[in-house]
């Protein structure tokens, strides 16, 4: 039987262990970000097909889509994929194409239903129509700097199966958009970079650089329908082929604008359920990814002012580390971001718990059951 004193000791030890894991992840991510990378094996100047699935108009649509026309790259084509000929984004895309006639670009209308994932369905015809063997799939809300393609290519190695870039929240408008930044940047991007640093790279669907012969050799773009999330399928396909998912040295920004609590909540629930079904062993420990709630509970259990002060110092140390990571990486920083860290960590246990309750998500108004089809994943 565990005594009250033993229980306090175990609670404090657990918090110390979580703090150590968080500090290690921050150090790994900080080391990995913006460091000098080994020489890329990507063929110099190889032609690239850049596929952007588009759907609907958002606040920054013109800015993010136009950034794809301003890349400092000699030989690339832009392919815009839209499922519906009546989509309101089409007039914008046509204006941008007329504004940049020197960039080879085209629109492909119509989807091929290979899965319940509307983005993947929207990309299939673009993949089939692409002229080049090096193909980038990039979401419409990714802001592309002039060296976007070079940054992706720089992470390619002999054992690479896929290069990805996790989204970094930028230009938030309001507190809940700051909370979105706290989730995206120093939590999710941090853990992705820490994982890649120890050989556990996970794909991120915002920007993906593929070599078509490799993906076609393991089932092609339609093999990404093995999971409801194409990036989860991509991770499993690359690993099954004995290759690695690599991340770029400096990820690209995603301007956020305004966000409401309901938007943050629904998006985090959707992503959490996807992670829980596709990678349950990695998702289970996420309950401990935020330090605030475990330390609060331990402080209440300890009934000790000294223990409470020590636990408060641990939380402050982790938040200071997160803020230092944001500074090092050149990401958003603001005094209000500390409050966003607190709000995020208060939400994490509720998001994690809700993720276990159901196995379906709603995306752009579509209800989708989350399931895995492992038979579609094969090695080269």
DSSP conformation letters of 203-259 = --TTEEEEEHHHHHHTT-GGGGGGBSSHHHHHHHHHHHTT-EEEE-SSPPEEEEEE-
What CA–CA distance (Å, rounded) separates 222 from 114? 6
112-157 pLDDT, tens digit per residue, is 999 989 999 999 999 999 999 999 999 999 999 999 999 999 999 9
- DSSP line for 27-46: HHHHHHTTPPPPPP-SPTT-
Quick one: which of 76, 70, 78, 74 has its CA closest to 51? Answer: 78
In sequence order, which residues have a C-beta less than 8 Å from that of residue 58 and are 6 or more positions away? 140, 141, 257
Segment 163-167 shows an average pLDDT of 96
User: Is residue 224 within 8 Å of 208, Cβ to Cβ?
Assistant: no
3-state secondary structure of 23: helix
Q: Which residue has the higher pLDDT, 128 or 38?
A: 128
Segment 223-247 shows an average pLDDT of 95
Angle at CA of residue 95, ends 364 and 138, nearest 5°: 45
3-state secondary structure of 106: strand
252 pLDDT band, cuts 50/70/90, is very high
Q: Is 174 left (phi over 0), alpha (psi -120 to 50) or beta?
A: left
Residue 359: per-residue pLDDT? 63
The two structure tokens encoding residue 88: 């309101």
Segment 239-245 shows an average pLDDT of 96
Which DSSP state fits 372? B
Lowest-pLDDT range, 32-41, 215-224, 286-295, 360-369?
Answer: 360-369
Distances (CA, A) of 239 to 273, 295, 319, 368, 377: 22, 36, 33, 26, 10
Pairing of strands 244-247, 160-165: parallel
Quick one: which of 52, 43, 95, 103 has its CA closest to 73? Answer: 103
3-state secondary structure of 336: helix
Segment 279-288 shows an average pLDDT of 91
The two structure tokens encoding residue 106: 């085209």
Quick one: which of 329, 326, 356, 353 has its CA closest to 341? Answer: 326
Residue 1: per-residue pLDDT? 46
Chain centroid to Cα 176, Å, comes to 18
Segment 223-241 shows an average pLDDT of 95
Q: Which residue has the higher pLDDT, 52 or 38?
A: 52
What CA–CA distance (Å, rounded) separates 241 from 87? 38
Segment 76-95 shows an average pLDDT of 97
292-301 pLDDT, tens digit per residue, is 988 888 888 7
Give pTM, 2 decimals.
0.91
The two structure tokens encoding residue 250: 């400096």
Q: How many CB atoms lie within 10 A of CB 77?
A: 17
Q: How many CB atoms lie within 10 A of CB 101?
A: 9
| Arithmetic mean of pLDDT over the chain | 91
Whether 283 shows a pLDDT value over 70: the answer reads yes
Label residue 93 exposed, middle or buried (CB < 10 Å: 0-12, 13-18, 19+).
buried
Residue 34: per-residue pLDDT? 72
- DSSP line for 82-99: ES-TT-THHHHHHHHHHH
User: Is residue 250 within 8 Å of 151, Cβ to Cβ?
Assistant: yes
């Amino acid at each position: 039987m565990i005594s009250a004193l033993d229980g306090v000791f175990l609670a404090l030890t657990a918090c110390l262990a979580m703090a150590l894991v968080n500090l290690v992840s921050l150090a790994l991510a900080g080391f990995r970000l913006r460091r000098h990378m080994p020489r890329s094996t990507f063929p110099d100047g190889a032609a690239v097909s850049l596929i952007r699935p588009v759907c609907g108009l958002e606040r920054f649509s013109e800015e993010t889509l136009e950034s794809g026309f301003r890349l400092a790259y000699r030989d690339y084509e832009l392919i815009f994929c839209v499922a519906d000929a009546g989509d309101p984004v089409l007039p914008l895309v046509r204006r941008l194409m007329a504004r940049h006639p020197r960039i080879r670009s085209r629109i492909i209308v119509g989807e091929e239903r290979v899965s319940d994932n509307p983005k993947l369905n929207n990309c299939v015809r673009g993949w089939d129509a692409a002229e080049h063997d090096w193909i980038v799939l990039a979401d419409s809300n990714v802001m592309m700097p002039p060296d976007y393609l070079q940054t992706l290519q720089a992470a390619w190695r002999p054992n690479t199966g896929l290069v990805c870039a996790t989204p970094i929240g930028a230009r938030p408008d309001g507190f809940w958009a700051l909370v979105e930044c706290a989730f995206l940047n120093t939590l999710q991007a941090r853990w992705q970079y820490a994982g890649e640093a120890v050989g556990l790279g996970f794909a991120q669907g915002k920007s993906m650089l593929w070599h078509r012969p490799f993906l076609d050799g393991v089932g092609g773009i339609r093999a990404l329908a093995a999971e409801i999330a194409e990036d989860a399928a991509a991770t499993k396909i690359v690993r099954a082929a004995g290759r690695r998912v690599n991340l770029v040295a400096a990820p690209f920004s995603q301007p956020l604008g305004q966000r409401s609590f309901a938007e943050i909540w629904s998006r985090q629930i959707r992503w959490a359920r996807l992670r829980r079904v596709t990678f349950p062993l990695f998702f289970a420990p996420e309950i401990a990814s935020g330090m605030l709630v475990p330390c609060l509970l331990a402080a209440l259990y300890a009934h000790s002012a000294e223990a409470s002060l020590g636990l408060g110092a641990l939380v402050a140390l982790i938040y200071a580390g997160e803020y230092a990571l944001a500074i090092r990486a050149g990401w958003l920083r603001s005094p209000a971001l500390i409050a966003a860290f607190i709000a995020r960590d208060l939400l994490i246990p509720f998001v994690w718990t809700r993720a276990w309750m159901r196995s379906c998500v709603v995306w752009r108004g579509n209800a989708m059951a989350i399931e895995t089809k492992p038979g579609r994943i094969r090695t080269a």
